[in-house]
Amino acid sequence: MRLRRTRSTAATAPRPAAALGGALVVAAVLGCSAPASEVRDEGGPDEAATSASGGSTPGGEVTTAPSLDPAYAVDPPGRFKSLPRTADIVVQTQETIDEDTLAAIEALDGVAAIERLSLLQVSIENRVLDVAAVDPATYRRYAPRELPQNQAIWDRVAAGELAVGKAVAKRLPLDDDDFVALTSEVPPIHLGVKAPQITNAVDAVVNEKWGEALGATPGNALLISTGLTAPDAVVKPLAKLLPKDTSIERLDAVARFGLDPEAYQQATVVGTFAEAVGSFSYRVLQGGRIDPDPTWISTHISTQDVPILGSVTCNNAIFPQLRAALQDIIDADLADEINPDEYAGCYYPRFIAGSTTLSNHSFGTALDLNVPGNLRGTVGEMDRVVVSIFKKWGFAWGGDWSYTDPMHFEMARIVRPG
């Protein structure tokens, strides 16, 4: 299914017909506070991008792109001629928002502009990143400070490259050529630009072609600008127009006060184990904890017996391959390498410490073993044959990460024992 063009309530410039040549590319956008001057990448200036912007790149530098695959490119956005907009509310639903609902939202008092996009979540090294699939020609209006006018950035997003904030870039497992795999179903994508974006509602931005490849639900999200109207005045009438399970997030409240404990947040995980998680709704509790939707818990989480560890509480989808891995460890006479008394759990619904980022433990698709000898940032003491058996059965190991977590194993793909 192709993503439909983003709906916009402001006029945009005509778009050139020819798409930029591009490789496996994505735009990742972090709500960080890095100054606009830090929009850059490693290497020299990008001649194509500079030319597209008339030699001017307000907000910082961009650099030479690798050879890009045109299959992941959309038309370049042309010059920016619209008014910048504030991003005041972000909405995410489970399904595509229909045209009648969009028209009703546009007509609400206090709604100055809306931008349709797709939101999805991907898991990278136990961090769940919020990815927005957008039309760069219109989404750019909501970028902070000088970034809407930075032609080079949006040309590169259209061509298929990844743009991320500095904080997100530091966490990405990049190869030597700055490519990163968002899921195993699509090729790696290139990090071409580091630039701040809208608050912490979005970690990464991709163009619509990449959203389609990643499996995004087309048009399941909106950015809403309320102009001079306080976002709170729009939330209640907005909620009446949308399904009950819709996530409505006030970006001003997120930035100043943290997540709204009364509102359900929405995460729709894509990738190899999407069927294990599906659509995940939760409320925020104190102390970094979350309260998943009880219906989701009843259909996805259970307590079962497995070899070596005994009774564990995990996602239902993980049990077949977890049992198979642990049985292979027993058959290899390595059961003593896993200490059940040092098992730290599988399902615990909470954010990663000190953040509002979900971990795979929130979904019950990860487990921590032999904790005392395998702390974060260390090589760890985990037996490497045990590690190889877990990998055989579809688990990724935190000991391979740039900032190691050798106690941690997470389901990277679904493997069904024969």
- The neighbour count for residue 141, using CB atoms within 10 Å, is 23
- The neighbour count for residue 121, using CB atoms within 10 Å, is 21
The per-residue pLDDT for 252 is 61
State the Cα–Cα distance between residues 360 and 181, nearest whole angstrom: 17
The helix/strand count (H/E) of the chain reads as: 12, 17
CB contact at 8 A, 396 and 359: no
State the Cα–Cα distance between residues 302 and 20, nearest whole angstrom: 49
Q: Report the candidate in 244, 252, 282 with the shortest Cα–Cα distance to residue 95.
A: 244
The answer to whether the pTM exceeds 0.95 is no
φ/ψ of 290, rounded to 5, equals -130, 160
Q: Going residue by residue through the chain (418 aa), what tens digit of pLDDT does each one get?
A: 333 333 444 333 333 322 223 322 233 332 332 333 233 333 332 333 333 333 334 444 455 667 788 999 999 999 887 877 888 899 999 999 999 999 999 999 999 999 999 999 988 888 888 899 999 999 998 887 778 878 999 999 999 998 888 888 888 999 988 999 998 889 999 998 888 767 667 888 999 999 999 999 999 999 999 876 878 889 999 999 999 889 998 876 444 445 566 667 777 777 777 788 888 888 887 556 788 999 999 999 999 999 999 999 999 999 999 999 999 999 999 999 999 999 989 998 887 765 778 889 999 999 999 988 898 889 999 999 999 999 999 999 999 998 899 999 999 999 999 8
The continuous run of DSSP H or E covering 315 comes out as strand 310-315
DSSP structural state of residue 49: H
Task: Identify the structural domains of the chain with CATH numbers, from first to last.
Answer: 36-268 (no CATH), 300-411 (3.30.1380.10)
Q: SS3 of 12, please?
A: coil
CB contact at 8 A, 211 and 118: yes
Give, to the nearest 10 degrees, the angle between helix 319-331 and helix 384-392: 140
φ/ψ of 288, rounded to 5, equals 80, 10
State the Cα–Cα distance between residues 243 and 389, nearest whole angstrom: 44
What is the distance in angstroms between the CA of the first residue and the CA of the last residue of the chain? 32
- The neighbour count for residue 209, using CB atoms within 10 Å, is 23
CB contact at 8 A, 56 and 151: yes
The per-residue pLDDT for 353 is 61
Residues 6+ apart with CB under 8 A from 256: none
The per-residue pLDDT for 18 is 29
Calculated CA dihedral for residues 371, 357, 319, 373, nearest 10 degrees: -10
DSSP structural state of residue 115: E
